């Protein structure tokens, strides 16, 4: 069955036919078994898309699976961005040049441990709008976006001579609801956008009955027993296949404060062998995870489990690690896939791993306290959430002046997601949604004292029943001894860049006050490296103008991956924002990552 894959990939030039057979996918009338690996262009520096795809070929993959993230492409409503790392069409084109098919997953909802599951934050500016349903305002925004995606991707469909074999509508919808009419609206929008080939859905085994669309292929996630996979798809697809595991998990994601997730390579390889031997097509999630940069991490939350934000590292214990180097799992999977190739077909050699460098003692000469850079506030009687302030990500400082002397319980109702509380510039406590901690004791406060609450969006929920309730900041009210505090000034810190902050080498910083630290360093050679944040508190880092991700001393991630292509020979600039610790004078970069160091405070 694999012969069709390898003969057709030699030169993806002619137009092909792709269809659903009774037991297998059919390419030009011959069976095609997809051996696919998930990789997202947004999480991998554009400079390395091709090298990662060469690694995919070397492991034996014939297909790349990928999501498309709405919030990356429409950061402001009506303004679309398909450039740079968002150039999904170029990503597909490179895959074609490297002889790889693509399974495209452009559902406006992705999950993927990505902020708001891929939905843009501005949908929440209308507090009555409901995502992922038949709300006309949502559907219109959804359609506008998908039409733009169609312009980018429809030329690369296999029906148009490209390498996109099939397209997913919605994503794991059965874990959310079961409205078949809504699913069919999805289908119609995708057809109108030019996606005229094979469409499919995917769900976990128990959610599949609710999430599939009758008449379209129901792929399954998280199931790797061949008999069970075939029985489930047969049941909901007129007694036939093809059989496709759209997400198989030889790894898992990390959340802050929990150990680094790993799986056993030998056991995973055995499962892969069984699936391929049964003729089932498979997409491993992830083949290469990469990094979730800036403020794009998501969070999980359920009725029994607390809010839990995910790390910037999306290493996923995948066959290719965060920096794109092959792991032991990669080589075990390669051995399995090689075993299933037609006689005489061999895999290409594995490319060399990337070189790494260490950068010791980067001096942080310039520093500036956040409270010295407040700018002009928004003034309102009641605190406004991020969305009402027209801000998507980052931080907001909420400030009020106490009208009378008071002490007692200070409570922030529905605080999203992490907050530091100050009285007269002195930190008095931390509030954390993950710990279900939304209040603290305020002691000996006087009339005229200044109360500050610095609130951070720690990542909107990307999965589960709370997906629609994702407004950020102080979303309801602040009370002291049950009485609502009014008269607020709100200072916005979206941190789209760190430009405009005023630094000084000897500026005083109040004890435990959040601050930015800037340094410059020279390099005579570049290489992949890992910024060591283990002595810092919580914040993010900009390198040469790019937000390279978040850090938090709770772990398990203690380093931030810096790709060689984002460093420069000569002068480089780094800016570190730390909201919990201060007094930093230097930082270093290591030649290896630290991804499994949990710190209990």
Residues 260-298 have pLDDT tens digits of: 999 999 999 999 999 999 999 999 999 999 999 999 999
User: In this structure, is residue 29 part of a structural domain?
Assistant: no
516 and 549 co-located in one domain: yes
130 and 253 co-located in one domain: yes
Catalytic pick from 38, 98, 247, 513? Answer: 247
96 and 62 co-located in one domain: yes
Instruction: For residue range 208-266, list pLDDT tens digits in order.
Output: 999 999 999 999 999 999 999 999 999 999 999 999 999 999 999 999 999 999 999 99
Boundary-marking domain end, from 446, 464, 493: 493
Tokens of 556: 């398990």
- Does position 509 have pLDDT exceeding 60, yes or no? no
Q: Which residue bears the tokens 């292929």?
A: 217
Active site residue 496: no
Average pLDDT on 79-88 reads 98
Report whether 120 contacts 70 (CB < 8 A).
yes
pLDDT band at 121 (very low <50, low <70, confident <90, very high): very high
Rounded mean pLDDT of the chain? 95
- Does position 524 have pLDDT exceeding 70, yes or no? yes
Burial class (CB in 10 A: 0-12, 13-18, 19+), 450: middle
Q: Which residue bears the tokens 């006689």?
A: 343
User: In this structure, is residue 601 part of a structural domain?
Assistant: no
Average pLDDT on 548-576 reads 98
73 and 131 co-located in one domain: yes
150 and 297 co-located in one domain: yes
468 and 390 co-located in one domain: yes
User: In this structure, is residue 512 part of a structural domain?
Assistant: yes
CA dist 131 and 134 (Å) reads: 8
Query: What is the pLDDT, as a whole number, of residue 343?
Result: 86
- Does position 133 have pLDDT exceeding 70, yes or no? yes
70 and 188 co-located in one domain: yes
Query: What is the pLDDT, as a whole number, of residue 511?
Result: 58
Q: Nearest to residue 297, comparing CAs of 112, 530, 37, 558?
A: 112
406 and 529 co-located in one domain: no
Boundary-marking domain end, from 440, 462, 493: 493
> Domain containing 558: what range?
359-367+500-590
369 φ, ψ (degrees, to nearest 5): -75, 145
Of 7-11, 76-80, 170-174, 548-552, where does mean pLDDT reach its minimum?
7-11
User: In this structure, is residue 23 part of a structural domain?
Assistant: no
Number of domains in the chain: 3
Tokens of 172: 């794991």
Report whether 62 contacts 9 (CB < 8 A).
yes
Catalytic pick from 172, 456, 513, 579? Answer: 172
Query: What is the pLDDT, as a whole number, of residue 382?
Result: 98
Tokens of 256: 């802050």
Tokens of 291: 């990094």
Report whether 167 contacts 246 (CB < 8 A).
no
577 and 467 co-located in one domain: no
- Does position 3 have pLDDT exceeding 50, yes or no? no
User: In this structure, is residue 596 part of a structural domain?
Assistant: no
Instruction: For residue range 366-425, list pLDDT tens digits in order.
Output: 999 999 999 999 999 999 999 999 999 999 999 999 999 989 999 999 999 999 999 999
Instruction: For residue range 151-191, list pLDDT tens digits in order.
Output: 999 999 999 999 999 999 999 999 999 999 999 999 999 99
pLDDT band at 525 (very low <50, low <70, confident <90, very high): very high
Boundary-marking domain end, from 435, 470, 493: 493
Q: Facing residues of 24 across strands?
A: none
Active site residue 483: no
Q: Give the residue ranges of DSSP H helices in 74-121.
A: 88-97
pLDDT band at 150 (very low <50, low <70, confident <90, very high): very high
96 and 128 co-located in one domain: yes
Query: What is the pLDDT, as a whole number, of residue 11?
Result: 42
CA dist 176 and 174 (Å) reads: 5
User: In this structure, is residue 4 part of a structural domain?
Assistant: no
Q: Facing residues of 410 across strands?
A: 440, 480
169 and 142 co-located in one domain: yes
Query: What is the pLDDT, as a whole number, of residue 8?
Result: 43
Domain at 321, CATH number: 3.20.20.80
CA dist 260 and 316 (Å) reads: 9
Query: What is the pLDDT, as a whole number, of residue 42?
Result: 98
Under 8 Å CB-to-CB from 587, ≥6 apart: which residues? 362, 364, 517, 519, 531, 532, 533, 536, 574, 576
Domain at 558, CATH number: 2.60.120.260
User: In this structure, is residue 392 part of a structural domain?
Assistant: yes
Half-sphere exposure of 46 (CA within 13 A, CB side): 11
Tokens of 347: 């895999």
CA dist 518 and 573 (Å) reads: 7
Sheet order of strands, 406-416 included: 439-445, 406-416, 473-480, 483-484
106 and 194 co-located in one domain: yes
User: In this structure, is residue 477 part of a structural domain?
Assistant: yes
């Amino acid at each position: 069955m694999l012969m069709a894959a390898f003969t057709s990939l030699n030169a993806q030039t002619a137009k092909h036919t792709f269809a659903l057979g009774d037991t297998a996918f059919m390419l030009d009338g011959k069976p095609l078994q997809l051996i696919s690996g998930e990789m997202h262009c947004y999480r991998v520096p554009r400079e390395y898309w091709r090298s990662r795809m060469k690694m995919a070929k070397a492991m034996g993959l014939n297909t790349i699976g990928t999501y498309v993230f709405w919030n990356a492409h429409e950061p402001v409503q009506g303004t679309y961005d398909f450039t740079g790392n968002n150039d999904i069409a170029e990503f597909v084109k490179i895959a074609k040049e490297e002889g790889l098919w693509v399974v495209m997953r452009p559902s406006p909802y992705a999950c993927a441990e990505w902020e708001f599951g891929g939905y843009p934050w501005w949908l929440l500016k209308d507090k009555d709008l409901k995502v992922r349903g038949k709300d006309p305002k949502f559907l219109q925004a959804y359609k506008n976006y998908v039409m733009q995606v169609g312009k980018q991707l429809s030329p690369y469909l296999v029906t148009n001579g490209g390498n996109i074999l099939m397209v997913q509508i919605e994503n794991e919808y059965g874990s959310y609801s079961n409205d078949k009419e809504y699913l069919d609206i999805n289908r119609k929008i995708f057809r109108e956008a030019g996606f005229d080939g094979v469409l499919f859905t995917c769900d976990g085994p128990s959610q599949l009955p609710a999430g599939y669309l009758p008449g379209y292929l129901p792929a399954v996630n998280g199931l790797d027993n061949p008999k069970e996979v075939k029985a489930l798809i047969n049941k909901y697809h007129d007694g036939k296949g093809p059989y496709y595991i759209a997400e198989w998990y030889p790894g898992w994601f990390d959340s802050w404060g929990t150990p680094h997730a790993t799986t056993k390579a030998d056991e995973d390889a055995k499962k892969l062998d069984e699936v391929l031997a049964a003729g089932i097509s498979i997409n491993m999630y992830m083949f290469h995870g990469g990094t979730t940069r800036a403020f794009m991490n998501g969070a999980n939350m359920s009725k029994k489990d607390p809010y839990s934000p995910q790390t910037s590292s999306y290493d996923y214990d995948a066959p290719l690690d965060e920096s794109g180097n092959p792991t032991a799992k990669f080589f075990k999977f390669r051995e399995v896939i090689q075993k299933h190739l037609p006689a005489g077909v061999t895999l290409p050699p594995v490319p060399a791993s990337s070189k790494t460098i260490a950068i010791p003692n980067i001096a942080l000469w310039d520093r500036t306290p956040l409270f010295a850079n407040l700018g002009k506030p928004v003034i309102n009687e009641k605190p406004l959430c991020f969305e009402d302030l027209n801000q998507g990500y980052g931080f907001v400082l909420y400030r009020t002046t106490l009208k009378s002397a008071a002490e007692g319980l200070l409570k922030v109702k529905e605080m999203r997601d992490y907050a530091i509380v100050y009285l007269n510039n002195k930190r008095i406590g931390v509030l954390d949604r993950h710990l279900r901690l939304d209040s603290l004791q305020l002691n000996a406060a006087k009339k005229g004292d200044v109360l500050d609450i610095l609130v951070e969006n720690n990542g909107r929920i990307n999965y589960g029943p709370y997906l629609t309730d994702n407004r950020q900041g102080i979303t309801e009210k602040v009370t002291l001894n049950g009485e609502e505090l009014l008269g607020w000034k709100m200072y916005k810190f979206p941190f789209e860049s760190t430009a405009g902050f005023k630094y000084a080498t000897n500026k005083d910083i109040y004890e435990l006050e959040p601050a930015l630290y800037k340094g410059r360093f020279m390099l005579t050679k570049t290489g992949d490296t890992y910024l060591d944040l283990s002595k810092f508190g919580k914040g993010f880092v900009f390198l040469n103008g790019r937000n390279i991700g978040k850090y938090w001393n709770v772990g398990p991630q203690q380093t931030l991956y810096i790709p060689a292509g984002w460093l420069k020979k000569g002068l480089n600039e780094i800016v570190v924002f730390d909201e919990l610790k201060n007094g930093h004078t230097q930082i270093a970069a290591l030649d290896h990552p630290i991804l499994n160091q949990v710190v209990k405070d």
